[in-house]
Structure 1
């Protein structure tokens, strides 16, 4: 599990990172010949994200309808999963944590009831994504039983307990999450990337930087390392992006890092953020 960063030291500003300018490093991959194609007439539509507007719970909905409705609504992260939380009891709504990852399934999702107030979905697993964005494919043919506890609130069925994270059909997952290469270092300080999956949206830069701060996945730590000093965190727990420039304020030991370490940190950040929209 991810260890929470606690150290708070002097702020080390990584200054600014211009995402657009960083793309110049990949200019050798740009084709220099080929046919002329018609482009977008409205350039504001070039990188729009897919968004869903799922319905909330209907009055008198059955237990099955509430469980299925909740799973479907979790495809929309708007307003901190506002619609999905409408399917939960008021108490559990504030406890459910969708940020812990995703269970990705593919195929039918048969439902059954157990012990009166428990609903179970049998999901053919495709993959899981943990809280750090590491995707692990499921075993072929594997099926997982996912349990939901239900109770009545003002005469309406609501979920009082559900798995942490979100449950997404494979096609929906690929529409609302995206892979990004996060840059770490080889033992001899060459950049080496690890693919992570993140929720598409305005917080993408923050997710990428947090992945860098967490370091390589456990199974990769023999081949990868990070230049970020231990204890480094984000000052405001987020990355501010303005006019194509990301401002990243770090805490902890980064304040006293030497010049060579800061250069390596900058290289990791630059390589990791170059593909982030905006």
Structure 2
């Protein structure tokens, strides 16, 4: 039970009741329903269809008479987790005076692993929180560092009946992780790449209650600060929800916008594409209908990327026996029109969406992959280089550890400005399929970081600058490689506290890190339609939940990669 995980060092025994009346009533109803089931006789066929059980809101309990100050705080924290059902009405009963109206529960969330409520002292109750993550008012999730703790202090007063109440409470919620996962949902808010051809996700966390409205509000408000210079939007200034909610009936989400003059006709197809992509994959939504002042809007533009791109099949490329080969399904075959790699010291092949192929030569030069008619061409050479990544504009990204560089045939290499990497050593990088974001593993005086930054390009698609990044995978104490598993999740080869060898970790751009089962002697990983690793003995393994499965028919494999 959730309540058993909110601890107090001292307080009323009555305040430790673990079973709210609502749960007791639900249990009684379930038992009553069972009494109508037959217990004997032949088995009968039925056409009754069983659907998924709806979410159940467990109502919070109000203050208990005579409860101690620390018990009031403990029960107030419990009431926060059930507050979405009644707009935090019961939770406010624990507050005194102006605090009842001043407290802003949706100002943010501290996601807690554990909570310890201390004894009251000097008119205050201090709560020690082991912090797993924090979500701001806009839904941006920041994973906390290992063993992060925070002390939250509540001011206490006694009312005219000598009952303890909270006089000062910090804005926002403190929720145990299992409560947070039940009450909040991760959702992608889609904006446009600078050239308006690609959907770019901005992953947020919103209350599950009225999720569609929260997503639309975020879309109208614009992208997160770290992403805003890399994307654009077809949402015009002044556009609002009218009424201020998205309604859903029988799987159809109805979005009403106004004022209609704000919606330019030329931008309407792009605006509808953003709305469709952001809402259509939410739970319970099967179609999206948009109107402006009652006039239906249709004709969404078809863009690349977005949720429908996740299942697109792409061949895995790797080196084997001195050749560049690809795995398409279960078939391994040489990549067509690739010349001899002899003498190149070939490693780390990378492929672009436009067919551009590059690799490293002796680990120190970025070169084009030779064809049957053309030798390898040096694009950039500068000491040891990290494995390249080719963006959708045909630019191959790499780093000599200090500079982030992009190069392509027929153009001079470009050093991409990234002020936040000063004093850090780049270990790995990977550009997202949308070309608007890049994931970078770097090491500095503060240790290893995994960051995702927006990419600013000029009008010709040339990458020029990286914006201030958002940090991911904060729980990792070491990391060597990064790849994109999907549009919102990274695969990172790294370690966390207590581990002595590297693991593959699933690291959301915004969310908690998940450690996958360990594989012995893993040296490389590739992310795409599936997550694949190469081991020292030349085998490939594919992650098929919940374990790693060896890819049959593959030997001597190294440096696997999907396009990108």
TM-score by length of 2: 0.40
Number of the residue aligned with 1:79: 86
When residues 140 and 157 of structure 1 are mapped into structure 2, their CA distance, relative to the original with a 3 A threshold, is same
Aligned equivalent of 1:265, options 265, 271, 274: 271
Aligned equivalent of 1:138, options 122, 140, 144: 144
**Residue 57 in structure 1 maps to residue 45 in structure 2:** no
After the TM superposition, which residues 18-167 of structure 1 pair with which residues of structure 2 at under 5 Å, given as runs? Answer: 41-43=49-51, 46=52, 48-76=54-82, 77-114=84-121, 116-153=122-159, 154-167=161-174
Aligned equivalent of 2:250, options 239, 243, 247: 243
When residues 156 and 110 of structure 1 are mapped into structure 2, their CA distance, relative to the original with a 3 A threshold, is closer
Number of the residue aligned with 2:186: 179
Q: 1:74-112: CA deviations, max 9, x gaps?
A: 001111112211111253222211121211111342424
Contact persistence 2:70–2:117 (CA under 8 A): no
Higher helix share: 1
Task: Give the match's secondary structure for 1:268.
Answer: helix
Q: Whole-Å Cα distance in 1 between the matches of residues 98 and 115 of structure 2? A: 31
Contact persistence 1:50–1:175 (CA under 8 A): no
> Shift of the alpha carbon at 1:134?
0.7
Q: Whole-Å Cα distance in 2 between the matches of residues 271 and 259 of structure 1? A: 19
> Shift of the alpha carbon at 1:64?
0.5
> Shift of the alpha carbon at 1:220?
1.0
After the TM superposition, which residues 183-222 of structure 1 pair with which residues of structure 2 at under 5 Å, given as runs? Answer: 183-189=190-196, 190-201=198-209, 203-222=210-229
When residues 110 and 160 of structure 1 are mapped into structure 2, their CA distance, relative to the original with a 3 A threshold, is closer
Contact persistence 2:107–2:137 (CA under 8 A): yes
Task: Give the match's secondary structure for 1:94.
Answer: helix
Q: Indicate the larger mover: 57-66 or 105-114.
A: 105-114
Higher strand share: 2
Q: Whole-Å Cα distance in 1 between the matches of residues 244 and 64 of structure 2? A: 37
Which protein has the larger Cα radius of gyration, Structure 1 or Structure 2?
2
Contact persistence 1:49–1:200 (CA under 8 A): no
When residues 146 and 206 of structure 1 are mapped into structure 2, their CA distance, relative to the original with a 3 A threshold, is same
Contact persistence 2:117–2:125 (CA under 8 A): no
Contact persistence 1:151–1:159 (CA under 8 A): yes
Contact persistence 2:194–2:232 (CA under 8 A): yes
Q: Whole-Å Cα distance in 2 between the matches of residues 47 and 233 of structure 1? A: 34
> Shift of the alpha carbon at 1:240?
2.5
> Shift of the alpha carbon at 1:70?
0.4
Contact persistence 1:57–1:66 (CA under 8 A): yes
Q: Whole-Å Cα distance in 2 between the matches of residues 152 and 110 of structure 1? A: 19
Contact persistence 2:239–2:262 (CA under 8 A): no
Contact persistence 2:74–2:117 (CA under 8 A): no
Q: Whole-Å Cα distance in 1 between the matches of residues 266 and 53 of structure 2? A: 36
TM-score by length of 1: 0.78
> Shift of the alpha carbon at 1:129?
0.7
RMSD: 1.9
Q: Whole-Å Cα distance in 2 between the matches of residues 142 and 224 of structure 1? A: 33
Q: Whole-Å Cα distance in 1 between the matches of residues 108 and 218 of structure 2? A: 13
**Structure 1 unpaired stretches of 5+:** 1-39
Task: Provide the aligned length of Structure 1 versus Structure 2.
Answer: 234
Q: Indicate the larger mover: 225-234 or 162-171.
A: 225-234
> Shift of the alpha carbon at 1:275?
2.2
> Shift of the alpha carbon at 1:248?
2.2
Contact persistence 1:50–1:176 (CA under 8 A): no
